[in-house]
Chains A and B, each alone.
Chain A
């Protein structure tokens, strides 16, 4: 338990009267990749967003239970949501660069958190783009608009943008579903490298991807977490019949 970066205890979430997440209790290991799998609409994205409180933005959301980050309740009264989101970064399904230059996209987060020195920003921009394996492709066009990049480059730019604020946890919601196979491969390699430094939670619809990139896997169904464990074990010997049916493609 002590090495869990994030854990939830009986997490319940409602959109109005709809009970979306049901009694989710799970531990997420630090500096490992955890994959969330499950059929569409089972609440994977909702669960992910409850870990950096992005659900707070939606009207009519009610949350019960607790989410701990390093043992502290992130829904506690003292919590500064902007600090939390700096620590728990997020990469979305659709790459959405800001309508500004590549450089400014990366520098945005650090600037918001008070980094002013030009040299320091230059450093962060280069380092983040290198970490996201897109530096070579953009180093000569840092001042160009980010919207001109290819889909795969945009997504790696968005990963770099998330890394630039030096998060501890990276939440990725189907980060490759809008990408071609070559770009997908790049992002997967990237995830493998990043897990040395970051705790990563990735939602994916692709079983092979889950097997390729993750150490642990959690299977969600209709708002419940049916089963979780190491990826090797869960895919080789699922304990729950529903997990087995899902990973063998019987439904979903």
Chain B
């Protein structure tokens, strides 16, 4: 009898906890929509999404976030373009070629990389990357009349920092996917006279493709949502996302302005949050459809 009561109680507690997670997602969604939408009606969605003039505190304020959206998209894309090949090849190395002793050193190092707080990445970026890129900038744009010097705090810095930050995600998930490929499949390829390198690229990676794709998508998610590190290295002014321009991301816009913004300005920042939220939702949607496809195969 007592046992029965405990069982029942446990069941109720489990369902309550599960319900809380669902309730949190649900209320966040509602809250984001309720707070993000008003500015769109007030300022007009064209004015916000398709104008590039961001002057929220001017006499005649203008709330165009086109450049900010573009920066997040381009920055994330470039970071993935840089980080995914490096991460995937690292995963191949760990899963296929590294001797156990070496893998035993690299794997914890990668895990450590994942555990470093993002503000540290930002600080290191400021100290190491920015001066380096500033020197490069001075060389590239020497004598230019039009270039606004960024001191190295620009899109390129942010992209590099993001690329490093998504590495652990890409590496560990791709490695798991590569290890899950049956050894017999690789043996079939080798037995046909394919070299080990050919086998990795033509059989093992294709066979692990859905896992690797999931790694990429999670990397994109991490890059889109990152704020702290890139707010320190990206220069933080609203510009078209070109490598040597200071830029502002969706996330860094909120971080840097929420403190003092009021009125419509503040509401537009919520709209930015809503856009970010939609991006993340889309990424999650893509991920779950990949995983579903995986199960069907």
Do the beta carbons of B193 and A86 come within 8 Å of each other? yes
Find chain B residues with CB under 8 A from A113 CB: 193
Query: Which one, A89, A94, A99, A100, contacts B191 given CB within 8 A?
Result: A89
Query: Which one, B192, B193, B297, contacts A147 given CB within 8 A?
Result: B297
Residue on B nearest A109 in the bound complex, by CB: B192
Say yes or no for B184: interface residue by CB 8 A criterion. Answer: yes
If A98-B207, A99-B207 touch, does A108 touch B190 (CB 8 Å cutoff)?
A: no
Q: Most A CB atoms within 10 A — which of B190, B193, B206, B207? A: B193
Do the beta carbons of B187 and A109 come within 8 Å of each other? no
Find chain A residues with CB under 8 A from B195 CB: 82
Question: Interface residues of A, CB < 8 Å — how many?
Answer: 25
If A96-B182, A99-B207, A108-B202 touch, does A85 touch B193 (CB 8 Å cutoff)?
A: yes
Which residues of chain A from 56 to 98 have any CB-CB distance to chain B below 8 Å in the complex? 57, 82-86, 89-90, 92, 94, 96, 98
CB distance from A167 to the nearest CB of B (A): 9
Do the beta carbons of B188 and A92 come within 8 Å of each other? yes
| Chain A residues touching B, majority SS | helix
Residue on B nearest A83 in the bound complex, by CB: B193
Query: Chain B 189-227 against A: per-residue CB contact (8 Å), 1 yes, 0 no?
Result: 111111100100011001100000000000000000000
Find chain B residues with CB under 8 A from A100 CB: 206
Find chain B residues with CB under 8 A from A108 CB: 189, 192, 194, 202-203
Find chain B residues with CB under 8 A from A82 CB: 193-195
Do the beta carbons of B192 and A112 come within 8 Å of each other? yes
Do the beta carbons of B206 and A99 come within 8 Å of each other? yes
Residue on B nearest A162 in the bound complex, by CB: B192
Query: Which one, B184, B198, B206, contacts A96 given CB within 8 A?
Result: B184
Say yes or no for A54: interface residue by CB 8 A criterion. Answer: yes
Say yes or no for A44: interface residue by CB 8 A criterion. Answer: no
Do the beta carbons of B192 and A89 come within 8 Å of each other? yes
Do the beta carbons of B185 and A98 come within 8 Å of each other? yes
Residues of A within 8 A of B (CB): 52, 54, 57, 82-86, 89-90, 92, 94, 96, 98-100, 108-109, 112-113, 147, 158, 161-162, 165
4 further A-B pairs in the complex, CB-CB below 8 A; given A83-B193, A89-B191, A98-B188: A98-B203, A98-B207, A99-B207, A112-B194
20 examples of A-B residue contacts, CB within 8 angstroms? A57-B190, A82-B194, A82-B195, A83-B193, A85-B192, A86-B192, A89-B191, A92-B191, A94-B184, A96-B182, A96-B185, A98-B189, A98-B203, A98-B206, A98-B207, A99-B206, A99-B297, A108-B194, A112-B193, A165-B193
